[in-house]
Amino acid sequence: MREIRFADLRRLLVESAGELDGVELTEDVIDEPFDSIGYDSLALMETAAAVSKEYGADIPDDSLGDVETPRQFLELANAALVAS
């Protein structure tokens, strides 16, 4: 089974929302809130669309409201991948 990993999320975030100055996207921030590392809800929606396009996993925008950290995004994305 295919799985979306942190490295994939990092790449998709940067491709979708850009790389932020002064923010190192390493696994050290996996439990940090997205807003504290500089990404807003629009960045998450763009990244979810990129996940859908690349992996065929549909992540509804309304499910992103509860996602606060990269770990939570990965859990949601991988659950969507299993369901697809």
Residue 54 within a domain = yes
The answer as to whether 40 is a domain residue is yes
* Residue 30 falls inside a structural domain: yes
Q: What is the pTM of this model?
A: 0.91
Range of the domain at 47: 6-83
Q: Token pair for residue 58?
A: 């549909």
Structural domain count of the chain: 1
Tell me the three-class secondary structure of the chain, residue by residue: CCCCCHHHHHHHHHHHHCCCCCCCCCHHHCCCCHHHHCCCHHHHHHHHHHHHHHHCCCCCHHHHHHCCCHHHHHHHHHHHHHHC
Residue 1: per-residue pLDDT: 62
Q: What is the pLDDT along the chain (84 residues), one digit of tens a residue?
A: 689 999 999 999 999 988 877 777 889 999 999 999 989 999 999 999 999 999 999 999 999 999 999 999 999 999 999 998
